[in-house]
């Protein structure tokens, strides 16, 4: 990525592994995007301040509906 400020394009809560949620920040600058691993709490806190969309994987939502440990 070259000069200029990067923007948070979206936040994704992707999976639950060994009772730990995993998240990714998708950032962009100069037409390029990068995914960065993040703690879900930090990713959501950034999203609340910067207003990018927050996505949660379908599997986590289904697990929550079934009474599992998702969301």
Q: How far apart are the first and last CA of the chain?
A: 34
Confidence of residue 8 (pLDDT cuts 50, 70, 90): very high
Is residue 1 pLDDT above 70, yes or no? no
Q: How confident is the model at residue 14 (pLDDT cuts 50, 70, 90)?
A: confident
Tokens 């969309």 locate to: 53
Which distant-in-sequence residues (6+ apart) come within 8 Å of 15 by Cβ? 21, 22, 57, 59, 60
CA atoms within 13 A on the CB side of 13: 21
Q: What is the pTM of this model?
A: 0.76
> Which of 36, 27, 24 lies closest to 1 in space, CA to CA?
27
The distance from CA 55 to its chain's CA centroid, rounded to whole angstroms, is 7
Catalogue all structural domains in the chain, each as residue range(s) with its CATH number. Answer: 7-65 (3.10.690.10)
């Amino acid at each position: 990525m070259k000069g200029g400020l990067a923007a948070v394009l979206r936040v994704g809560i992707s999976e639950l592994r060994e009772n730990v949620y995993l998240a990714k920040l998708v950032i962009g600058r100069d037409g390029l995007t990068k995914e960065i691993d993040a703690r879900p709490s930090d990713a959501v806190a950034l999203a609340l301040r910067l207003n990018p969309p927050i996505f949660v994987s379908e599997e986590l939502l289904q697990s929550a509906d079934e009474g599992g440990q998702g969301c």
